[in-house]
Amino acid sequence: MSLVIENGWPRTAEWTGGELRLGGIGVRDLAAEFGTPAYVIDEEEFLARCALWRDALPDGEVHYGGKAFLCPQVVRWLDTAGLCLDVCTGGELAVAMAGGMDPARVVFHGNNKSVAELRRAVAWGVGCVVVDSFTEIERLAALAAEAGTRQRVMIRVTPGVTAHTHEFIATGGDDSKFGFSLNAGLAAEAVRRVLAEDSLELAGLHSHIGSQITDLGGFTLAAGRMAAFLTACEDEHGVTIPKLDLGGGLGIVHRPGDPVPPSPAEVVAALRAAVPSRVRLAVEPGRSIAGPTAVALYEVGTVKDIPGVRTYVSVDGGMSDNPRPAMYGAAYTAVLASRASDAPERPVTVVGRHCESGDVLVRDLPLPADVRPGDLLAIPASGAYQRSMASNYNHVTRPPVVAVRDGAARVIVRRETEEDLLRLYV
Ligand SMILES: Cc1ncc(COP(=O)(O)O)c(C=O)c1O
Ligand SMILES: N[C@@H](CCCC[NH3+])C(=O)O
């Protein structure tokens, strides 16, 4: 079975009489039972993608990047699949705890963790804290000493590599809010300072160059620089630095015709080739696990033809459940998912229901000319950075996540209600 998804759809996606089925269930039934908009996540796909990474790195560590999509059920899937978890806020830490994650398998990231978050992480016994600033090294050392423990840490390094991706999601260059610059000598100083703290144990070095990367060049370059830096630090200080965590970042296909990224096995092979075999490798894939697992399901509400200009198809979600087109110019596709149509195709622009002209989900998309209110549209590759970045803009409630498998569906994140929203107001 090919594990690189070249068309964006999860492996159980099939069409019967023009209707899309996911995990053995038709989207009309899913919409009738759970409403729209909804994210439908394919459990089999999620577990298979975890296994793909784990099998690519059997002698290393795979930390799922929880920022892509996290809820207690995801934590339980990670546990089943034998993966570790990367969190980057106290909130993500709380979800890890709620899902029953073993703290030893949690890595805690973030460029501005609060003292309270660090204290909680140390008390819970997180496996590793990735230190990101000199201030944090001091803070964490004091907190670990106060708790009477020796906290394992990795040092986040920016290796001066500019990934080929959107500028907002490139993180490995010298001008970055994340980590310690290698070129500016800050990373070397961070190593000195961590080694000087009795309450900290230097477990490894870390870098993450960016996200939605579809070629190996940046990964290889960063791995080589990090490996050389690790060796130089070991030589300078006469210590062993056992681990190199090279982050996440592998991209996915959103639309047929998008560049097909390398497979996890190819990424790991490239990293391994650049890093001495004595060093344990870790990776932090988020999007490449969660992204292709979910489909966003919407109902068409209105169709507006502006002769000679454009046809707008409005759906019942939008930038609040998928901010990526507006934030990064991300390009998606959508299909008519609830029925067959013989109508000729014509280009339309699929928009959301927000009070914002930039609330566009898919631009210039060929759809059958008879698309009408009540039809369901499905957008594949919606499993990463969509529910996790969803907002309540315009007091829209956030959609549920429905897991499908073997003909059964269950809610793993329920739909938000207006009651949920109003509960915040005093
Ligand atoms: C430190 C770190 N690790 C892992 C990830 C996961 O990245 P991706 O979802 O691109 O695999 C991110 C996000 O880009 C990150 O910042
Ligand atoms: N949120 C971004 C990725 C950021 C990755 C986290 N460091 C996206 O949707 O592409």
CATH number of the domain encompassing residue 353: 2.40.37.10
| 92 in any annotated domain | no
Annotated binding site for substrate: 287, 324, 328, 356, 385
Atom of ligand 1 nearest to the CA of 171: 16
Atom of ligand 2 nearest to the CA of 384: 9
Residues composing the chain:
426
| SS3 track for 198-240 | CCEEEEEEECCCECCECCCHHHHHHHHHHHHHHHHHHHHHCCC
E strand or H helix that includes residue 311: strand 310-315
3-state secondary structure of 38: strand
On whether both 348 and 251 belong to a single domain, the answer is no
CA 169 to ligand 2 center in whole angstroms = 6
User: Residue type at 35?
Assistant: G
> How many domains would you assign to the chain?
2
Q: What is the dihedral of CA 26, 379, 409, 4, to 10 degrees?
A: 100
Provide the pLDDT confidence category of residue 181 given band limits of 50, 70 and 90. very high
pLDDT tens digit sequence for 351-385:
999 999 999 999 999 999 999 999 999 999 999 99
The residue whose C-alpha atom lies closest to atom 4 belonging to ligand 2 is 169
On whether both 262 and 306 belong to a single domain, the answer is no
| 87 in any annotated domain | no
Please confirm, yes or no, whether 84 is among the known catalytic residues.
Answer: no
| 399 in any annotated domain | yes
pLDDT tens digit sequence for 143-170:
999 999 999 999 999 999 877 666 666 6
**Domain with 316 in it:** 14-41+292-422
Strand partners for 69: none
Question: Is the Cα dihedral 165, 128, 387, 22 positive or negative?
Answer: positive
| 57 in any annotated domain | no
On whether both 375 and 256 belong to a single domain, the answer is no
| 2 in any annotated domain | no
| 147 in any annotated domain | yes
Mean of the pLDDT values across residues 5-11? 79
On whether both 174 and 135 belong to a single domain, the answer is yes
96 has a pLDDT exceeding 50: yes
Q: Which of 49, 67, 389 to mutate to test the pocket of ligand 1 (most atoms within 8 A of CB)?
A: 67
On whether both 262 and 301 belong to a single domain, the answer is no
Q: Which of 123-132, 157-166, 412-421 has the lowest mean pLDDT?
A: 157-166
Write down which residue in 226, 261, 285 finishes a domain: 285
The residue whose C-alpha atom lies closest to atom 16 belonging to ligand 1 is 208
The residue whose C-alpha atom lies closest to atom 12 belonging to ligand 1 is 248
- In percent, the amount of the chain with pLDDT more than 90 equals 94
On whether both 303 and 363 belong to a single domain, the answer is yes
Cβ contacts of residue 111 below 8 Å, gap of 6+? 132, 133, 177, 178, 179
On whether both 229 and 267 belong to a single domain, the answer is yes
On whether both 205 and 344 belong to a single domain, the answer is no
State residue 8's pLDDT score: 83
CA 26 to ligand 2 center in whole angstroms = 30
Distance, CA of 302 to CA of 36 (rounded, Å): 15
Buried b (16+ CB within 10 A) or exposed e, 208-223: bbbbbbbebebbbbbb
Provide the pLDDT confidence category of residue 133 given band limits of 50, 70 and 90. very high
| 97 in any annotated domain | no
What's 228's domain CATH number? 3.20.20.10
Nearest to 206, CA basis, from 167, 178, 232, 185: 178
2 has a pLDDT exceeding 60: no
On whether both 275 and 318 belong to a single domain, the answer is no
Provide the pLDDT confidence category of residue 7 given band limits of 50, 70 and 90. confident
Write down which residue in 217, 251, 285 finishes a domain: 285
On whether both 182 and 268 belong to a single domain, the answer is yes
Mean of the pLDDT values across residues 271-284? 97
On whether both 276 and 315 belong to a single domain, the answer is no
Mean of the pLDDT values across residues 42-69? 97
Distance, CA of 136 to CA of 113 (rounded, Å): 8
pLDDT tens digit sequence for 325-341:
999 999 999 999 999 99
Q: Which of 38-47, 66-75, 255-264, 287-296 has the lowest mean pLDDT?
A: 255-264
Atom of ligand 2 nearest to the CA of 166: 10
State residue 6's pLDDT score: 63
3 has a pLDDT exceeding 80: no
Mean of the pLDDT values across residues 263-279? 97
ipTM of the complex: 0.98
* CA-based max dimension of the chain: 73
State residue 1's pLDDT score: 35
4 has a pLDDT exceeding 70: no
Write down which residue in 226, 257, 285 finishes a domain: 285
Tokens 């994650």 correspond to what residue?
Answer: 101
Q: Which of 74-88, 89-103, 153-167, 295-309 has the lowest mean pLDDT?
A: 153-167
On whether both 326 and 359 belong to a single domain, the answer is yes
Please give the model's pTM, rounded to 2 decimal places: 0.96
State residue 284's pLDDT score: 98
348 has a pLDDT exceeding 90: yes
| 381 in any annotated domain | yes
